[in-house]
Amino acid sequence: MLLVRASHSLSAAEDLLRAQNIAFTPFEIAITAPIEVTLPAAGHLVITSSAAVATIPTGDYKIHCVHEVTAATVQAAGHDVATVGDNNAMALAQKIASEHTPPALFHHLTTSTANTHWYSVLTAAGHAVQRHSAYSTVYAEVLTPEAIAAVKAGTPVILCSQRGAEHLIYLVKAAKLASELKQCTAYCLSPAIGDICHADFNATITAPTPTLTSLLEML
């Protein structure tokens, strides 16, 4: 397996594969670093990536998570979770809008380049959203020699984020390995990732629930 993950979640994924005796080649698709944010002592937080969990300050917060993976990371860090979305930010926004009486202010802990189109769901419902740069992300510029060898060998690829999938495909094409990638199977954490991979891989397999454990059961 070629395990594609960002730095903040790579180690935990490696431990899980080792525990199941699954041979793998790790590829750190991006390096993330937390950025301290200043927030009110109470309120609503929206978390759409586990990379933001390290920046959650101490306070009385209702935390809304994009899916079960992020929620589990938030809980492991000692925080309570108020809402869990159905795998994407738009679905989370719709759920929040249906469950909370406006007006309320939601603080989104994310990156400066995050997709914010789903904010319109909350603002249309009478809420407000503020984006906070809670972590930085630097993506890999090239494939590692080990990743190149894995792709050339037709190794199955584990993909856990939409942006990671998009960037891996970009790097593979830049390395002129598109035809080799077409021999690989993509194991995807969500249907949205599968949609991104469909045209560039031999096949895509999606986890029944958005957890790495569930995905590994598909191997």
Last residue of a domain, one of 133, 153, 181: 133
Q: How far apart are CA 135 and CA 6, in angstroms?
A: 12
pLDDT tens for 56-88 read 999 999 999 998 878 988 998 999 999 999 878
Integer-rounded Cα Rg, in Å, for the chain is: 18
Rounded CA-CA distance 182/34 in Å is 35
Question: Quick one: pLDDT at residue 56?
Answer: 96
Q: What is the pTM of this model?
A: 0.80
Q: Check whether residue 55 and residue 18 sit in a common domain.
A: no
CB atoms within 10 A of CB 94: 17
Looking at the structure, do residues 16 and 104 belong to the same domain, yes or no? Answer: no
- Helix, coil or strand: residue 88: coil
pLDDT (tens digit, 9 = 90+) per residue, 138-190? Answer: 999 999 999 999 999 999 999 998 899 999 999 999 999 999 999 999 999 98
Decide if pLDDT at 210 tops 80. no
Eight-class DSSP state of 41: S
- The verdict on 20 and 48 lying in the same domain is no
Point out the domain boundary residue: 133, 153, 184.
133
Looking at the fold, whether 110 and 180 belong to one and the same domain comes out as no
Number of domains in the chain: 2
Same domain, 207 and 162: yes
CATH number at residue 27: 3.40.50.10090
Position 21, amino acid: N
Domain match, 120 and 50 both? yes
The domain in which residue 198 lies consists of 2-31+142-216
Please tell me the distance from the alpha carbon of residue 18 to that of residue 126, in angstroms, as a whole number.
47
> Do 40 and 26 have their domain in common?
no
What percentage of the chain has pLDDT greater than the value 70? 100
Give 211's pLDDT tier (boundaries 50, 70, 90).
confident
pLDDT score, position 35: 95
Q: Are residues 119 and 78 in the same domain?
A: yes
Same structural domain for residues 157 and 171? yes
pLDDT at 68: 80
